Amino acid sequence: MTNPPKDADPEGVRRGVEEMDAKLRAARAPNPKPRPNEPPSNVMSHRQTSVAYRILVDMIAGLLVGGFLGYWLDRWLGWAPYSLVTGLVLGFVAGANNAWRAIRAYSKDAAVTGSGGDDGNRRLP
């Protein structure tokens, strides 16, 4: 740390240090944590996260299975790109359908329970 110049105002330097110390104390103030019984306000519940991951997996699995079956049919029957494209489209439709079903089930459950929060050990159908 460098020394202040000899003509510097020691009172001004001290005020600057005190201001910085006050800012550090304010930044280090404890953040209030949510209580266990209090519903989360701005965070996703475990159930919401699980539904989001299920939608992601459904979409990817549909594309992979449809693409694999289309590729396999192309090789077996020699229909070059047609089976692959058809398989990818059907895989996308199947993945979107599964995702839509998961969203509907979650929405219906959230409407019944009154919130989208974590509700124990319930699982999607």
For residues 83 and 100, is the Cβ–Cβ distance under 8 A? Answer: no
Residue 19: partners with Cβ closer than 8 Å, 6 or more residues away: none
For tokens 């993945």, what's the residue?
95
Residue 41 exposure: Cα atoms within 13 Å on the Cβ side? 4
Per-residue confidence (pLDDT) for residue 119, from 0 to 100: 47
Residue-wise pLDDT for 22-55, tens only, equals: 988 888 877 666 666 666 555 667 888 889 999 9
The H-assigned helical ranges of the chain are 10-27, 46-77, 80-113
Domain boundaries, given as residue ranges, for the chain: 45-114
Residue 94: is its pLDDT beyond 90? yes
The Cα 87–Cα 79 span in angstroms is: 12
Per-residue confidence (pLDDT) for residue 61, from 0 to 100: 96
